[in-house]
A and B are shown apart, each in its own frame.
Chain A
Amino acid sequence: MLTHLFDNELLLGAAQAAVALAFALLVMMLARYEHVHLERELTGALLRGLVQIVAVGSIFLLLLRAPGWITVFVLMGMITAAAAIARRRIEGIPGVFVVSLYGIAFGSGLVILPMTLLGVIETQVTALVPVGSMIIAAGMNTCALALERFRSDVESHVAQIEAGLALGAAPAQTVTPYVRSAVTASLIPHLNTLRSLGIVWIPGIMAGMILSGTDPVYAAVYQFVVIAMIFAAGGLTALATMVLVRGRVFGAAEQLLVRPGTGTA
């Protein structure tokens, strides 16, 4: 119906965004009726999301005319931003931004680079940036989940960790169970995604490819490839992040620095 009202694509987009916003505001009002106050957080998130995504659209407009090598810098910028976001809720672990940065760069880089060289991801900016961004975002999410779970487990097992240290164990040995549980927990959303693929949800790339006239079977296979790359990047990021972070919760003399509720000791 909206398409009949607007000839101009920009106006049509604005109208579609307004309808989507109306639904979000409806949720906010229903929540308020139940005394759940989302106004501030939701309004901020919606405005921020809108501005960010429009900015990305504008950047894409510029990227389409830019040389291919610029993609490398765009992806590096995304990795840096992802690391900054992933570390946001993690207090009390020294150098957690660097850990996140290296973890996400390792996990996403180790998937993006060979898959691009093999031609699975096309080298055009319009393919590499969006697919790369999905892979980096997956790395960011697993990194944040793994770090949060690890810190929480360490905080709640201080007595066991220090008992291990007091018995002469290597610091890495004392946190091994929490490294394992953090990696497992961070991959649960990706495993659920793989399990529900095509049954519970039809992901964006596949939907977009079908809408643009691509053979549905090829679209489905390519979507699986993307999801598998996302899982691989997530797994590699979680493992790298844990390898990097496990030593950072200990001081130079192998003392546990993390304490419940107080950040570092």
Chain B
Amino acid sequence: MNSGADMPALRADGLGRALGGVTLLDGVSFTVLRGEVWAIVGPSGSGKSSLLRLLVRLDEPSAGTVYLGGVDYRQLPPRELRRRVGLVAQRAALFPGTVAYNVRFGPSQRGRELSQGRVEELLSGVGLSGFAERDVANLSGGEAQRVGLARTLANEPEILLLDESTSALDEVSCEGVEELIRSIIRENELTCMIVTHDVAQSRRMAEHVLVLRQGRVAEKGSVKEVLGAHSPVR
């Protein structure tokens, strides 16, 4: 029986994005197999965040396309695509209200009401047991980022995209969230792409790496080959 491990979960084919005459991404191609964890690294302005936005179609590619499980994502309803490919942004941008409201938001868009038990389970998974009824206005940066992660996981995505999810946090919070993300990826066997400007972090978290420079793929391959270090994730 095919476990699906060698199946491409996500394939970008010649992705390009230009805005106002400026090329943000040009000819970006890569294939991510199911269960793989990729780091996307590169200097500021290299197109890392622009690439993630294209992968969930928050922006429209000027060229190329993305295949999700072999299907051209332009053939999928945008809402279905965005449920299947979860994005955790650099800043959590939580909705005003309680933590539970935020966690329930995604499933409720499809008419699915998460039970209190499931909300608590998701919050416990990100180390925030007992936070369900807290007002998001009273959360620290690290806590807000964890709620953002729980909110995305509530949608049960096939692929998780993390956009510098620890960059706005202090060192202690950063280590905690990073460890949390590693364990969530392991436990849920998620396919994951992590944008980071921190090469050490990509060594700690990913098996494969995509290096972007000036909107183009400069290098791609295993972390060991490209960054010359051991990848400890799995």
Closest to B96 in A: A177
> Is A163 positioned at the interface, with any CB of B under 8 Å from its CB?
yes
Measured in the bound complex, the distance between the Cα atoms of B19 and A255 in whole Å is 15
> Is A160 positioned at the interface, with any CB of B under 8 Å from its CB?
yes
CB pair A166 B105 closer than 8 Å: no
Measured in the bound complex, the distance between the Cα atoms of B93 and A162 in whole Å is 9
CB pair B89 A265 closer than 8 Å: no
Measured in the bound complex, the distance between the Cα atoms of B79 and A255 in whole Å is 11
User: B7 to chain A: which residues have CB within 8 Å?
Assistant: none
> Is A165 positioned at the interface, with any CB of B under 8 Å from its CB?
yes
CB pair A160 B95 closer than 8 Å: yes
Measured in the bound complex, the distance between the Cα atoms of B96 and A133 in whole Å is 41
> Is B58 positioned at the interface, with any CB of A under 8 Å from its CB?
yes
> Is A251 positioned at the interface, with any CB of B under 8 Å from its CB?
yes
Complex partner residue of B105 from A164, A177, A251, A255, CB under 8 angstroms:
A164
User: B109 to chain A: which residues have CB within 8 Å?
Assistant: 167-170, 173
User: B15 to chain A: which residues have CB within 8 Å?
Assistant: none
- What's the nearest-Cβ distance from chain A to residue B4, in Å? 23
CB pair B89 A163 closer than 8 Å: yes
Interface flags, A151-178, vs B, CB<8A=1, else 0: 0000000011011111111100100010
Q: Chain B CB within 10 Å — which of A165, A170, A173, A253 has the most?
A: A253
CB pair B95 A163 closer than 8 Å: yes
- What's the nearest-Cβ distance from chain A to residue B135, in Å? 16
Complex partner residue of B60 from A159, A164, A255, CB under 8 angstroms:
A255
User: B60 to chain A: which residues have CB within 8 Å?
Assistant: 251, 253, 255
User: A166 to chain B: which residues have CB within 8 Å?
Assistant: 56, 58, 82, 86-87, 89, 152
Among B135-150, those with CB < 8 Å from A are 148
Measured in the bound complex, the distance between the Cα atoms of B130 and A216 in whole Å is 66
Task: Count A-B contacts at CB 8 Å.
Answer: 67
User: B83 to chain A: which residues have CB within 8 Å?
Assistant: 167-168
> Is B106 positioned at the interface, with any CB of A under 8 Å from its CB?
yes
> Is A229 positioned at the interface, with any CB of B under 8 Å from its CB?
no
User: A162 to chain B: which residues have CB within 8 Å?
Assistant: 58, 89, 93
CB pair A168 B19 closer than 8 Å: no
User: B89 to chain A: which residues have CB within 8 Å?
Assistant: 159, 162-163, 166
> Is A91 positioned at the interface, with any CB of B under 8 Å from its CB?
no
Measured in the bound complex, the distance between the Cα atoms of B148 and A168 in whole Å is 14
Measured in the bound complex, the distance between the Cα atoms of B89 and A249 in whole Å is 21
CB pair B155 A168 closer than 8 Å: yes
Interface flags, A225-265, vs B, CB<8A=1, else 0: 00000000000000000000000000101111000000001
CB pair A265 B19 closer than 8 Å: yes
CB pair B58 A165 closer than 8 Å: yes
CB pair B19 A254 closer than 8 Å: no
Among B27-78, those with CB < 8 Å from A are 56-60, 74, 78
User: B152 to chain A: which residues have CB within 8 Å?
Assistant: 166-167
User: A159 to chain B: which residues have CB within 8 Å?
Assistant: 89, 91, 93
Complex partner residue of A167 from B19, B57, B82, B91, CB under 8 angstroms:
B82
User: B95 to chain A: which residues have CB within 8 Å?
Assistant: 160, 163-164
Measured in the bound complex, the distance between the Cα atoms of B109 and A164 in whole Å is 9
User: B106 to chain A: which residues have CB within 8 Å?
Assistant: 167-169
Measured in the bound complex, the distance between the Cα atoms of B78 and A167 in whole Å is 10
Q: Chain B CB within 10 Å — which of A164, A166, A253, A265 has the most?
A: A166
| Besides A168-B83, A254-B78, 4 other A-B contacts (C-beta < 8 A) | A166-B82, A167-B106, A168-B110, A255-B58
Q: Please give the residue numbers on chain A whose beta carbons come within 8 Å of chain B beta carbons, in ascending order.
A: 159-160, 162-170, 173, 177, 251, 253-256, 265
**27 chain-A/chain-B pairs, Cβ below 8 angstroms:** A159-B93, A160-B94, A162-B58, A162-B89, A163-B92, A163-B93, A163-B95, A164-B95, A165-B58, A165-B78, A166-B56, A166-B82, A166-B89, A167-B86, A167-B109, A167-B151, A167-B155, A168-B83, A168-B110, A169-B105, A170-B79, A170-B109, A173-B109, A253-B57, A253-B60, A254-B78, A254-B79
